[in-house]
Amino acid sequence: MHKPNKVLKNMETETKKPEILAPAGDREAFLAAIAAGADAIYCGVKNFSARMAARNFTISELAGLTAFAHDRGVSVYVALNTIVKPAELDAAGMVLDRINKYVCADALIIQDLAFISLARQVGFSGEIHLSTLANVSFSAAIRMAGFFKPVTRVVLPRELSIDEIKSCAAAASANVSLEVFIHGALCYGISGRCYWSSYMGGKSGLRGRCVQPCRRIYTQEKSSGRFFSCRDLALDVLIKLVSTVPGLSALKIEGRKKSAHYVYYTTSAYRLLIDNPGDSDAKKTAMQYLDYALGRPRTHYNFLPQRPWNPIDINSQTGSGLLVGKVSGTSEKPCLTPREALFPDDRLRIGYEDSPGHHTFILHRRVPKRGKLYLKLNRNRRPSNHTPVFLIDRRDPGILDQIKALDGQALSGGASEIIDDAFTAVLPRAMRKGGARRDVIDMTVRRVVERPKSACGHEALWVTPDTKPIGGFDKKRFWWWLPPVIWPDDELKMTRSVNELLKKGYTNFVINAFTQAVFFPADRPELNVWAGPFCNVTNVLAIKNLARMGLSGVIVSPELGAEDYAQLPEKSSLPLGMVISGNWPLSVSRTVSGSIKPGILFKSPKGEGGWVSRNGSDYWIFPDWKLDLTPVRGALEKMGYRLFVTIIEPLPRGISMKKRPGMWNWKLGVK
């Protein structure tokens, strides 16, 4: 089976040194991770990976590489960390079945609870790791994650400080360990809480297809800049603080879309830092490696609570790559005088992706430091002088030699024959027609108390750490919504707020991460707790697992298309609802640029507008047009949906909502 020596692994974990987990988006990056000393590698296959822009692996290729890694004591984790649409369950099960039969992966990384059911159905015997996209963000949530027995590890959000990481680690059980990111790209939005790309064009970050609208230039009043574009996370010299935290099993490097060059140098850097604490020479070399890895400018972000570092700096470049010079010369002969030697097969980028004259090309000859490289560009693509030029990838001969040597050894491994067996997912039985109430409920969710305009309508408020019970409402028709994210700093206050509401007799609640169910006692059968839209539920197997937790209903993801919505009610184990209209956020973030003003309209180059609003501990980004599926409400009722939610946010003074269709992905479906 080519499994790594687990006895040896267990002896190593007794020393509490966490493994270095390296990314791999292709064969060269996989072998580079091994060459650099990674303890484990995570990668994806061609489908159901949250990095679909990476090349990823075929089952056959991954089977051979995994066997090769196992022979060297390196673990392999396969990321199946996307949401799964209703019609994709059979395909997802087939992929997982083939991974189980031929790859022998040590673990799966998932966000969709459907994969827990599919893993049981195919007999997968490895570990299940909850992706950061599942948003397990506070201490008690980690204990709740252990409700699903195959789950043995939780990947924490990137936004946590070292103190918050320690509090989460203290709450982890012997059966559930933690993994933290130590290096790589930072998304502006909290993982699993960003819908920007999907809302703008149907390409969902939850499906690995984000087009990164947050990296673009926006304007607000008289200023412009990349208000939402973050630097890369790098714990580098602070790594000792996190590597010695009890309960941490892995230190994760982000970068499945990055090259072998990046993987080799980042992995080598952290290998040096972790294996040689206090060694100044090792530290110096490691920092040189990180500079040479060709990433973005770096930040420690929130890691040090006493010295938080805003990851957004609109005055610095946030594209990846090493700045090697600027365009100069005449319009007829533009040129580059590089600050360091360039080599054949180096990949260079002129400017930024959304700037005039942007261009990438591969160098075919060596250019010495301070030499001249004349840029052969189409006249229409001629960049202006002083446009920056970046080295974004390098075919380092030394690394390539190591990869070639390993590649020769790896060629003989893997499955000799892979058979495409059919797979049919075992779905829940259709809900009995008399088994659930069929009356239709309209609910309005607000930030502030407002008397209902209709006696039959249901009202809801967001729970905050400072929420106090209110009077004058029919508790049977009043709901409380928990926020999309709860941070460790707010956990105790949120617990008190929820407990106070329970004591006052409130029974209707909506949670917005499945682990928030931990706030509600299992011995209160009168409680009516629904999974909310931020739980990103998209299929009946995920719904079945939420039913096992004791939830009463599910408000499905608003990202879906008409065909997806139509397939859910018949086989659902729980009553279903959906967000029918209102202010849906593009993104929820823990940070905001000091250069953008909350409550003031900003615009993209295409005229798309929005505003930033502070809600609790987080910043919500709203578009200036509403989600509106009211034209198809009748069709949804016929499908079997019975709870229809309208979300109303306070509109800042001076901002007016555009009159434009808000059907989101209804017609085309989510990609």
Whether residues 112 and 246 fall in one domain: yes
> Which H/E stretch holds residue 233?
strand 232-234
Residue 351 or 664, more confident: 664
Q: What confidence tens digit (pLDDT) does each residue in 395-446 have?
A: 888 999 999 999 988 875 555 567 767 889 999 987 654 444 468 999 999 9
| Structural domain span for residue 572 | 441-584+626-647
State the chain's mean pLDDT as an integer: 90
Whether residues 298 and 359 fall in one domain: no
Q: What pLDDT is recorded for position 413?
A: 56
Residue 173 lies in a domain: yes
- Tell me the C-alpha distance between 60 and 71, whole Å: 17
pLDDT tier for residue 12 given thresholds of 50, 70 and 90: very low
Q: What pLDDT is recorded for position 470?
A: 84
Q: What pLDDT is recorded for position 434?
A: 42
Biggest CA-to-CA distance, the chain: 80
Q: What confidence tens digit (pLDDT) does each residue in 386-395 have?
A: 899 999 999 8
Q: What pLDDT is recorded for position 247?
A: 87
Q: From 662, 625, 623, 636, select the one nearest 196 (Cα to Cα).
A: 623
Whether residues 332 and 381 fall in one domain: yes
Residue 198 lies in a domain: no
Least confident segment among 52-66, 461-475, 529-543, 583-597: 52-66
Residue 638 lies in a domain: yes
Whether residues 634 and 555 fall in one domain: yes
Q: What pLDDT is recorded for position 472?
A: 77
pLDDT tier for residue 370 given thresholds of 50, 70 and 90: very high
Phi, psi at 613, each rounded to 5°: -130, 135
Q: What pLDDT is recorded for position 415?
A: 57
Q: What pLDDT is recorded for position 210?
A: 93
Phi, psi at 631, each rounded to 5°: -60, -20
List the CATH number of the domain containing 380. 2.40.30
Whether residues 507 and 559 fall in one domain: yes
Res. 2: pLDDT tops 60: no
Give this prediction's pTM: 0.93
Q: Let me know if 207 is exposed, middle or buried by CB neighbors in 10 A (0-12, 13-18, 19+).
A: buried
Q: What pLDDT is recorded for position 454?
A: 58
Q: Is 604 helix (H, G, I), strand (E, B) or coil?
A: coil
Q: Which of 349, 370, 391 delimits the end of a domain?
A: 391
Residue 206 lies in a domain: no
Q: What confidence tens digit (pLDDT) does each residue in 170-216 have?
A: 988 778 999 999 999 999 999 999 999 999 989 999 999 999 999 88
Is 213 within 8 Å of 186 (Cβ atoms)? no
Distances (CA, A) of 372 to 350, 368, 457: 15, 8, 72
- Tell me the C-alpha distance between 484 and 213, whole Å: 21
Whether residues 71 and 172 fall in one domain: yes
Res. 591: pLDDT tops 90: yes
List the CATH number of the domain containing 500. 3.20.20.60
Mean pLDDT of 621-647: 97
Res. 9: pLDDT tops 90: no
Residue 275 lies in a domain: yes
Whether residues 354 and 449 fall in one domain: no
Percent of the chain at pLDDT above 90? 75
Is 57 within 8 Å of 43 (Cβ atoms)? yes
Q: From 322, 380, 319, select the one nearest 347 (Cα to Cα).
A: 322
Residue 431 lies in a domain: no
Q: What pLDDT is recorded for position 316?
A: 67
- Tell me the C-alpha distance between 206 and 193, whole Å: 9
Res. 149: pLDDT tops 90: no
For the chain, what is the domain count? Answer: 3
Whether residues 371 and 474 fall in one domain: no
Q: What pLDDT is recorded for position 100?
A: 94
pLDDT tier for residue 296 given thresholds of 50, 70 and 90: confident
Distances (CA, A) of 515 to 101, 136, 155, 623: 31, 7, 14, 28
Phi, psi at 35, each rounded to 5°: -60, -30
Residue 654 lies in a domain: no
Residue 377 or 186, more confident: 186
Pseudo-torsion of CA 68, 13, 304, 153, nearest 10°?
70
pLDDT tier for residue 564 given thresholds of 50, 70 and 90: very high
Whether residues 33 and 177 fall in one domain: yes
Q: Would you put residue 321 in left (φ > 0), alpha (ψ -120 to 50) or beta?
A: left
Q: Which of 308, 342, 366 delimits the end of a domain?
A: 308
pLDDT tier for residue 54 given thresholds of 50, 70 and 90: low
Residue 13 lies in a domain: yes
Tokens of 519: 């706030």
Res. 343: pLDDT tops 80: yes
Q: What pLDDT is recorded for position 435?
A: 42
Whether residues 121 and 178 fall in one domain: yes
Whether residues 271 and 158 fall in one domain: yes
Q: Is 533 helix (H, G, I), strand (E, B) or coil?
A: helix
Mean pLDDT of 21-39: 97
Q: What pLDDT is recorded for position 13?
A: 40
Whether residues 272 and 328 fall in one domain: no
Res. 68: pLDDT tops 70: yes
Is 531 within 8 Å of 537 (Cβ atoms)? yes
Q: Which of 277, 308, 339 delimits the end of a domain?
A: 308
Q: What confidence tens digit (pLDDT) does each residue in 309-337 have?
A: 899 987 766 677 888 999 998 878 889 99
Res. 151: pLDDT tops 90: yes
Q: What pLDDT is recorded for position 280?
A: 94
Mean pLDDT of 129-144: 95
